[in-house]
């Protein structure tokens, strides 16, 4: 059996399809760390955390944001089922900056003990906002 030369990438959320394409390689933010995938990869099911993902098609690299979900990796395909995800070009920078400021303010108030809140939820909101900003910046730098 020959090793495949590309991977069929299917990347979806409950609301929409993000990517359906043939790619040469990709990297995912797994719960146990970042995972690089090339054609012919051993079958694997991976839990995803909040982070930056990227994939390469030829000489062009595309970036995206992924937040929670799973990736099924097979020798010739990768299926990503994410709770939240965006392509770098779809990230609203003003919205991400505003979300970052809100989360930072909530965490600062919680540290003072002046507000009763879910600390973990605020921390994750901050992580999502920062990651979106980083993904967008990486995509702009590569143009």
Helices (H), ranges, the chain: 93-112, 119-141
Reported as half-sphere exposure (CB side, CA atoms, 13 A), residue 102 has a value of 12
Q: Which domains does the chain have, with CATH numbers?
A: 7-89 (2.60.15.10), 91-141 (1.20.5)
What is the spatial distance between Cα 75 and Cα 5, in angstroms, rounded to a whole number?
Answer: 10
- pLDDT tens sequence across 48-97: 999 999 999 999 999 999 999 999 999 999 999 999 899 888 878 788 88
Q: DSSP label at 113? A: T
- pLDDT tens sequence across 102-141: 888 877 777 766 666 677 777 788 888 888 888 888 766 7
Return the pLDDT at 1. 64
**β-pairing verdict for 44-48 and 51-57:** unpaired
Q: And the tokens for 137?
A: 């910046």
**How does the average pLDDT of the chain come out, rounded?**
88
């Amino acid at each position: 059996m020959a090793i495949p030369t590309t991977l069929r990438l299917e990347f979806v959320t409950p609301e929409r399809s993000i990517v359906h394409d043939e790619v040469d390689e990709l990297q995912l933010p797994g719960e146990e760390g970042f995972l690089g995938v090339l054609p012919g990869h051993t079958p694997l099911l991976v839990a995803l955390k909040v982070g930056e993902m990227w994939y390469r098609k030829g000489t062009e690299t595309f970036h995206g944001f992924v937040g929670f979900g799973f990736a099924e990796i097979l020798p010739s395909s990768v299926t990503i089922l994410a709770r939240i995800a965006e392509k770098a070009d779809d990230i609203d920078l003003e919205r991400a900056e505003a979300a970052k400021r809100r989360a930072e303010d909530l965490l600062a108030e919680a540290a003072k003990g002046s507000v009763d809140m879910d600390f973990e939820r605020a921390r994750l909101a901050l992580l999502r906002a920062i990651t979106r900003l980083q993904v967008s910046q990486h995509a702009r730098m590569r143009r």
